[in-house]
A = this chain, B = another copy of it.
Amino acid sequence: MAMKRVANSAISALASSSTVFTRQAHASSGSKKIVGVFYKADEYASKNPNFLGCTENALGIRDWLESQGHQYIVTDDKEGPNCGCQVVDVGSFLAKFIDIHFCGFVAELEKHLPDTHVLISTPFHPAYVTAERIKKAKNLQLLLTAGIGSDHIDLSAAATAGLTVAEVTGSNVVSVAEDELMRILILLRNFLPGYHQIINGEWNVAGVSYRAYDLEGKTVGTVGCGRIGRLLLQRLKPFNCNLLYHDRLKMDPELEKQIGATFVEDVDRMLPKCDVIVINMPLTDKTRGMFDKNRIAKLKKGVMIVNNARGAIMDTQAVVDACSSGHIGGYSGDVWNPQPAPKDHPWRYMPNHAMTPHVSGTTIDAQLRYAAGTKDMLERYFKGQDFPEQNYIVKAGELAPQYR
C-alpha cells in the first residue's frame, strides 16, 4: 500500500483528511472526535483532585474540549479486535485474554476507531495500535501518547499511513529516574525481606543483613542514556558509585564530566562490570529480547537489574531462571510483557523481585505534566500549529531517532 507522505509543517493542509492515502497532520476546521484510553480508577477517582490520568477524570480536558464543540470519548476498554468484555475489573480479568483477541465482544475502542480523528493513549494501560487498527481508523490523523513510550503503536504502520505520533516528552522523565533510584536501593539494601518479617510478626536482622549492601562504591551501568538515564546518573552522583553508561553516542564532554559517568561503547564490555544494571532504552526491533539467557550468563553473579523501560527487552523465562539460580541477585521494574501482566506471569512469583504494575511515570506530579502537555498539543493541532520538535515520534513519515 503506497502512501503519500504529508509534510507536517504544511499548515494549510488538504481540506479532506478522511482518505488513508493523504491523512493530514493538522486538523481541518470543525468538530473532531477524540478518543482517550486510560486506566480506570473506580473508587480511587474521587480521592485526589489532581488524579487526572484515569478514565473518570480523563486528563481534566473534557469541559474544555466539549466547550469547543469536539466529541470526547473515554474508555479503558481497549482489547481487540473482537474482545471488549463488559467487566468492571478490566485489569485482572482482561489479563487472561490479552493474547486471545477473539472472545465475541467488540471493545469500546474498536467501535470508535472508524471515525476517530485523534487517539490519546498511555503506556500505563496501553491501547495497542496495530497496522490493522490503523487501517480501520480511516479518519485518524493524530496519535498522542499521554506520557512517554509509544511502542504500543506500530510506528512503521503509522509512518506509512501518514499519521503523526507524538508524546509529552519530558513529562515523566524525573518520575521514572527517581523510581529507578528507589528500586536500586530497595534491591541492594534488601528492603523487602525485612518488610515481610514485620508484617508477618517476625524479627530476624540476620535474615536481611546477610545480603544487604550499600550503594556507595558499587558499579552502576545504564544501558541507554537519554533523558531518564542522565537524570538517574545525576541523582546517583552523590552516592559515590562507579558510574558507566552505554548509548549510541557519547555525551557532550562537559556534561559527561559534570555527571561523572564513563562511556562504554561496547555494551557487552560494560555489562559484566556492573553490580547494578539499569535499562533505559526504548523497545525496538534491536532491543527486543536483548537480555536473553546468553547475555545474562555473562553478567556478574548476584547482579541487580532495574528495568522501567519495557518488559520485552528481557527474555521473560531467562530472567526467572537467573533469579531462581541467584545469578541475578534482584530484579525490579514496573514493565511487563504483556501489560497488564496476567495473573500467572512468572515474574510475580520469582525470588528476589521488587515488581509493581506500570506506575513509575504516572505519579500525580507526572499526571499534571502529561495532562497539560496533551492539552497543549491538542490546542496546537486545532490551530494548525506545530508541536515542540522533541515531542514527535512519527512526523511526516519519519520515525524519531530513538525508535529507528
Contacts and interface: CB of A to CB of B under 8 A. Distances in A.
Contacts of A358: 205
A365 interface: yes
Contacts of A51: 206, 209-210
Contacts of A206: 39-42, 44-45, 51, 54
A198 B348 contact: yes
Contacts of A41: 206, 210
A210 B44 contact: yes
B91 A202 contact: yes
Interface string A164-204: 00000000001100110110011001111011011101111
Interface stretch (A99-107, A230-238, A316-324): A230-238
Contacts of A366: 214
A92 B202 contact: yes
A215 interface: yes
Interface stretch (A109-117, A349-357, A384-392): A349-357
| Copies of this protein, total | 2
A9 B234 CA distance: 46
Given A195-B192, A365-B217, A212 B359 contact: yes
Among A53, A212, A354, A355, max chain B CB count under 10 A is at: A212
B205 A125 contact: yes
A400 interface: no
Contacts of A355: 195, 198
27 contacts: A39-B206, A47-B210, A51-B210, A92-B201, A92-B202, A124-B209, A125-B205, A178-B216, A179-B185, A186-B191, A192-B195, A195-B355, A197-B356, A198-B357, A199-B349, A201-B343, A205-B362, A208-B357, A208-B359, A213-B363, A214-B363, A214-B365, A214-B366, A216-B365, A217-B365, A234-B238, A237-B238
Given A178-B216, A182-B182, 20 more contacts: A40-B206, A44-B206, A44-B207, A51-B209, A51-B210, A125-B205, A175-B214, A178-B185, A178-B214, A179-B189, A181-B185, A185-B185, A189-B363, A194-B334, A198-B355, A208-B356, A209-B364, A212-B363, A217-B365, A235-B239
Closest 7 CB pairs of A and B: A194-B356, A41-B206, A182-B185, A203-B340, A91-B203, A44-B210, A214-B365
